[in-house]
Copies of this chain bind each other. A is one copy, B any other.
Amino acid sequence: MPDYEFLLKGLNNSKKSIGTDKGLAKIGDSIVNLIYSVAKSIYLTKIRNFKIAIRTGKKVNQIILSNALKNAGFKGEYAKSRANAHDMADTVEALVAYVWLRNKISIEEMIDILVNNFKGEFKERKQEIEAAINAFTELLIKIIEIID
């Protein structure tokens, strides 16, 4: 894996400056969508015992990411004060980008964590959102362990 650490120049590496960096959030946005799309495809293929392959993609919404941040219990440390759902989603995206650019976790490891923490059959939208919040909470806990 290559090292993109030079892209972190100028960040003072405090928790708030990582969690509120707009550029990191932009990079993290596409990482989050990628890992979710692949993890969802793998999971839905797995629960069908690999008899048919499901290939799907999904933009991960603010509700999922902001709730994951709240559940993981790190909102106060990493998000800006009085953060709304949008700000909190940006914080999650920034944290994901930060550990990936520092080469501390791979795309594939993040996909594995999501797959291993999904539940249910994703038949209803509400059920999928709950499963996604749960899986991203676990991913965040792991990421924050890495940063701490």
Q: Does A107 contact B (CB under 8 A)?
A: yes
Q: Does A130 contact B (CB under 8 A)?
A: no
Instruction: Give A29 to B52 CA distance when docked, in angstroms.
Output: 22
Instruction: Mark A109-139 against chain B: 1 for CB-CB distance below 8 A, else 0.
Output: 0010000000000000000000000000000
In the bound complex, residues from chain B placing their C-beta under 8 Å from that of A1 are 108
**Which residues 1-15 of A have a CB within 8 angstroms of B?**
1-2, 4, 6-10
Q: Does A30 contact B (CB under 8 A)?
A: yes
Beta-carbon contact of A54 and B23 below 8 Å: yes
Interface residues in chain A, defined as those with a beta carbon under 8 Å from any beta carbon in chain B: 1-2, 4, 6-10, 21-27, 29-31, 33-34, 37-38, 41-42, 45, 50, 52-58, 97, 107-108, 111
